Amino acid sequence: ILGQDSFRTRNREEEKEEEEEEFDCSVPEVVNKYQFAGKVANAAIAKVQAECVVGKDVAELCLLGDSIINQELANVYKGKKIEKGIAFPTCVSLNNCCGHFSPLKEDSIQLKEGDVAKIDLGVQVDGYVALVATTVVIGTGDIT
């Protein structure tokens, strides 16, 4: 009987090892999810960056980035139980604000000539995250 118990324990351990799959970049499906999340993140940040002009409302820019992410992800992995969405909300931080500024509409400010805007956002597909960021100077004046 003692031998049977150790045999059962060994079998359970082997079963657990077989059930635990590796989900790293050696698995093509994982790489595809990372790449798609990156593609969506790059598209969203490019559109937000293009809208960074004098007079534009920061809260509107943040909402734009988040809505682009949600629109792009709404059309993929339909019918599958895969979580997808915003991993990090769109933030547009100005000048001496180092990061993570995503204001409510009533707390928003407008972009001004010469503002330094730091844009960052993140997308996740099935828990695989792509974060992107960029910095732009608002307006066409010389940078001093």
What is the pLDDT at residue 141? 64
Residues 6+ apart with CB under 8 A from 43: 68, 72
Tell me the per-residue pLDDT of 10-44, one tens digit each, with 9 for 90 and over: 666 666 555 667 788 999 999 999 999 999 999 99
What is the pLDDT at residue 80? 83
Residues 6+ apart with CB under 8 A from 25: 31, 34
Of the candidates 47, 36, 89, 93, the residue with the CA atom closest to the CA atom of residue 66: 89
The pTM assigned to this predicted structure is 0.82
Asked whether residue 1 carries a pLDDT value surpassing 60, the answer given is no
Tell me the per-residue pLDDT of 53-91, one tens digit each, with 9 for 90 and over: 999 999 999 999 999 999 999 988 888 889 999 999 999
Asked whether residue 3 carries a pLDDT value surpassing 60, the answer given is no
Complete edge-to-edge strand list for the sheet that includes strand 128-137 = 84-94, 116-125, 128-137
Asked whether residue 143 carries a pLDDT value surpassing 70, the answer given is no
What is the pLDDT at residue 140? 72
